[in-house]
Structure 1
Amino acid sequence: MAVALAPMEGLVDALMRDLLTRMGGVDWCVTEFVRVSQRVLPNSSFHKLAPELTQGACTPSGTPVHVQLLGSEPRWLAENAAAVAALGAPVIDLNFGCPAKTVNQSRGGAILLREPELLHAIVQAVRQAVPDSIPVSAKMRLGYDRPEESLDCAQALVEGGVAYLVVHARTKQEGYRPPAHWEWIARIQEQVSVPIYANGDIWTLEDWRRCRAITGVEHMMLGRGLVARPDLARQIQQAQQGETIEALDWSGIYPLVCEFWARIRQRLGTRYAPGCLKQWLGMLAWTYPEAAALFAQIRREQHCEPLDVVFGFNSHLLTGLSSS
């Protein structure tokens, strides 16, 4: 069994990957997507979203980081895949799952699930462009608007050369509306020979157990559930190994929030840091009442200094944490 941390644009960046993988239980994670158009990107574009490439392509806790590309042109995806492989990416992941309108309007993400032939061509081109030692994977949804489409899409991706698939159990049109249709992941796994990672609506240990029972697959990719419950992957790992499950309470999560604030405010400053903090607290509030109370306390704050007071920070502590 493997558990992966999902790529989530604007949420799971290198800092969040560091904090979440440090909690344990995550076998690998994926960058936010690198958007590819009609050129080979400079190394700085890859390093911006995957700074771990300068650290052996691992988070500080040693968790491998795969690099995700998004685009629609086989040639340019292949050439950029070769470029990032040369920088040390251990796996090239292809995004066919993003449902965002802005992404789909530029012919990227889940809109391509309408074109299985193009999916095949993209994967085949990327597979041929990178060394055999570097796997190519893909993340997809249950088709554009009908889950039946997912069977042809999955088959096209596998025949193109993916080593494994991550399947988010909703169509593009469903976005993130519940429920996730885990039963379709079972149907996809019956049809293809590569491993499938189930993704979608795994918020708790009980969700993991039900998802595994319905899909019949062992591998999982956690997204919002892990951001909202940072020790969920570790709980799953403990359950799988038959160990006593020790869920962290707010006292175990709060130090992570403090570190997050110290590092994000040094990097982003007043313009963006408060919003990033509120975004994570809003998700943590789904699990921890204390996070909801803290969010309510700071929701109107737009500047860093009042938040420093809330966390009891001084300049010495902020400098020390931001450099860690």
Structure 2
Amino acid sequence: MQIALAPMEGLVDEILRDVLTRVGGIDWCVTEFIRVTERLLPASTYRKLAPELFGGAQTAAGTPLRVQFLGSDPVCLGDNAAFAAELGAPVVDLNFGCPAKTVNKSRGGAVLLKEPELLHAIVREVRRSVPAAIPVTAKMRLGFDHKDDALDCARALADGGAQQIVVHARTKVEGYKPPAHWEWVARVQEAVKVPVFANGEVWSLEDWRRCREVSGVEDIMLGRGLVARPDLARQIAAARAGTAVVAMGWAELLPLLHDFWLQARRKLSPRYAPGRLKQWVGLLTRSYPEAVGLFDAIRRENDCRRIDALLGVAWNEPVRGEFEAAANA
């Protein structure tokens, strides 16, 4: 059984990947999607979106990192995947699940599920372009506005060379609205010979048990559920191993939240750091009553120093130019 951390664009950046993988239970994680259009991206793009590549392609906790691409040009995707492999990407992942309108309008993400032939061509070209030792994997939804082609899309990915397929068990049109159709994950696994991961609407240990029962698959990718309950992967791993499951309390979580904020202060502009904190705390309110009060206190606050005080952390102001250096590293 493997448990993966989902690649959520605009949320799970290198800071949150670092913090969540330190909690434990996560076997691998994925970058936010790297958009590929018509050129070979420079190394600076990877330093920004996949800085772990330059430190052994793993988080500080030792969790392996996969690089995910999004685009529709097979040759261009292949060229960029080859360069990522040169930089040390241990696995190349392809995004066919993003539901964002701006992404879909530019022919990326879930809209490509309307074209199984193109899915096959993209995966085949990327597979051809990277060394044989580097796996190529893919993430898909059940379709764009219907599920009629879900199995054909999965077969196209597997036949093209995808060695694992993560299935977000909803269509693009369904977005993130419950329920997730886990029974379709079972149908996909029956249609392909490669391992299939279930993804979508797993917020608790009980959800995982039901997902496993309905989908019939052991492997799982956790997204918002893991962000909202940072020890969810650890709980699932313990339950799977038959050991005691001890839920993380607020006192254990608070130091991680403080570290997240200090990393955001160091790596992000003061204009954007508060928003990242609010995103995470907002999701934590699903699992922790203590997060509700904290969120109420910071939701309208954009002054970093006042947020420091509300969190009870001490911030050492960087010397002039240090922020710019970190941002461009």
Q: Distance in 2 between matches of 1:107 and 1:269?
A: 31
Unaligned runs of 5+ in 2: none
**1:207–1:139 distance in 2 versus 1, CA, 3 Å:** same
Q: 1:269–1:304: 8 Å Cα contact kept in structure 2? A: no
CA distance in structure 2 between the aligned counterparts of 1:186 and 1:303, rounded to whole angstroms: 48
| Aligned-residue RMSD, C-alpha | 1.4
Distance 1:269 1:121 in 2: 40
* Aligned residue identity for 1:138: A
Q: Deviation of residue 269 (structure 1)?
A: 3.5
Matches of residues 18-97 of structure 1 in structure 2 within 5 Å?
18-97=18-97
Find the counterpart in structure 1 of residue 143 from structure 2: 143
Q: Tell me the amino acid that sits aligned with residue 142 of structure 1.
A: L
Q: What's 1:229 paired with?
A: 229
Q: Residue 294 of structure 1: SS of its match in structure 2?
A: helix
Cα-to-partner distance string for 1:150-169 (whole Å, 9 max, x where unaligned): 10000000110000100000
Alignment correspondent of 1:203: 203
> In the alignment, what sits opposite 1:212?
212
* SS at structure 2 position matched to 1:21: helix
1:205 corresponds to which letter in structure 2? L
- Residue matched to 1:257: 257
Distance 2:268 2:59 in 1: 20
Q: Secondary structure at the match of 1:281?
A: helix
Residue 282 of structure 2 corresponds to 282
Offset at residue 317 of structure 1 (A): 9.8
Separation (CA, whole Å) in 1 of partners of 2:314 and 2:239 = 40
Aligned residue in 2 for 1:161: 161
Paired position in structure 2 for 1:301: 301
Which amino acid is the alignment partner of residue 26 of structure 1?
I
What are the superposed Cα offsets for residues 24-71 of structure 1, whole Å, 9 maximum, x if unpaired?
A: 100000000000011111111122110001111000010000000000
Distance (whole Å) between structure 2 residues aligned to residue 313 and residue 38 of structure 1: 44
Q: Using a 3 Å threshold, how does the CA distance of structure 1 residues 318 and 243 change in structure 2: closer, same or farther?
A: farther
Per the TM alignment, residue 318 of structure 1 is displaced from its structure 2 partner at its CA by 9.1
Cα distance in 2, alignment partners of residues 139 and 282 from structure 1: 26
296-305 or 197-206, which deviates more: 296-305
The answer as to whether partners of 1:141 and 1:167 remain within 8 angstroms in 2 is: yes
CA drift of 1:309 comes to 1.0
Equivalent residue, structure 2, for 1:12 = 12
Check conservation: 2:30, 2:65, Cα contact below 8 A: yes
Q: Which residue of 1 aligns with 2:108?
A: 108
TM superposition outliers: structure 1 runs of 4+ over 3 Å: 315-319
Q: What does the per-residue CA deviation read over 1:218-238, in whole Å, with 9 as the maximum and x for residues that have no partner? A: 000000000000000000000
Q: Distance in 1 between matches of 2:116 and 2:313?
A: 53
Query: Contact 1:263–1:318 at 8 Å: present in 2 too?
Result: no
Aligned length: 321
Counterpart of 2:313 in 1: which secondary structure? coil
- Partner Cα separation in structure 1 for residue 154 and residue 112 of structure 2: 12
Structure 2 Cα separation of the partners of residues 47 and 97 of structure 1? 24
CA distance in structure 1 between the partners assigned to 2:135 and 2:14 by the alignment = 22
Q: What are the equivalent positions in structure 2 for 1:107-126 lying under 5 Å apart?
A: 107-126=107-126
Paired residue for 1:292?
A: 292
Task: Name the amino acid aligned to 1:71.
Answer: G
Q: Tell me the alpha carbon deviations over residues 268-312 of structure 1, each in whole angstroms, 9 at most, x when there is no partner.
A: 242111111111100000110100110001211111111111122
Q: Which stretch of structure 1 is more off in the superposition, 301-310 or 214-223?
A: 301-310
Contact 1:197 1:221 in 2 (8 A): yes
Q: What percentage of aligned pairs have identical amino acids?
A: 62
- CA deviation string 1:126-158 (max 9, x = no partner): 000000000000000001111221100000001
Cα distance between partner residues in 2 of 1:25 and 1:102: 33
Separation (CA, whole Å) in 1 of partners of 2:279 and 2:24: 23
Show the counterpart of 2:191.
191
CA distance in 2, matches of 1:204, 1:80: 37
Q: Distance in 2 between matches of 1:184 and 1:20?
A: 29
CA distance in 1, matches of 2:315, 2:154: 52
Q: Distance in 2 between matches of 1:118 and 1:269?
A: 39
Alignment TM-score, normalising by the size of structure 2: 0.95
Instruction: Provide, for residues 82-128 of structure 1, a one-character-per-residue CA deviation record: whole Å limited to 9, x for no partner.
Output: 00001000000000000000000000000000000000000000000
